[in-house]
Amino acid sequence: MRRKWFAIGVSAAVFCVARDSSAQGKVLTVPSSAQRADVGVQGTLQYGQFLGPPGYGEHPATDRKEYEFYLQLPAPVTQQNLDLRLGPEFEKQSEFFVQVRGSAALKARLRRLVGQKVRVTGTLEASAIGHDRTGIVLNAQTVSTIRDWGW
């Protein structure tokens, strides 16, 4: 009889732990409040090839190749925008790379500016999916060339 009650107790404990870990998984999702709008970021615009699904680099021969725009930053985003506060969902706040996404029309402009110093303005969000290549993703609204860094 004791073994039966012990088994029931262990099952209940495992169920509670499983419930807690699923709740923790919900904490890791990026809430819409994690986005920061109208942020300007300066950097050198780059266009890179990355390994995508199914293994995201674990099986280079079979992983699909994906191409993304990104900024190589002279200083982290928070150093360029001193009044910007990023929450804990932005795990890599001191990173020197920011992925840039944009509309088809904006991507055409970005292609012409690869290798140049630019200022990109848009909405920042924390990386959330495998296709996000940096800890911070910038959904670009505007892009313009600059001569030198200034913030």
For 75-101, write each residue's pLDDT tens digit. 999 999 988 888 777 777 788 999 999
38: left (phi over 0), alpha (psi -120 to 50) or beta: left
Query: In which region does residue 33 sit, left (phi positive, over 0), alpha (psi from -120 to 50) or beta (all else)?
Result: alpha
What is the per-residue pLDDT across 47-79, written as a single tens digit (0 to 9) for each?
988 877 887 888 888 888 888 899 999 999 999
State residue 10's pLDDT score. 47
What pLDDT sits at residue 2?
A: 52
| Residue 73 Ramachandran class (φ > 0 left, ψ -120 to 50 alpha, else beta) | beta
Q: Global pTM?
A: 0.69
State residue 24's pLDDT score: 40
The domain ranges of the chain are 1-29, 32-145
**CATH number, domain 32-145:** 2.40.50
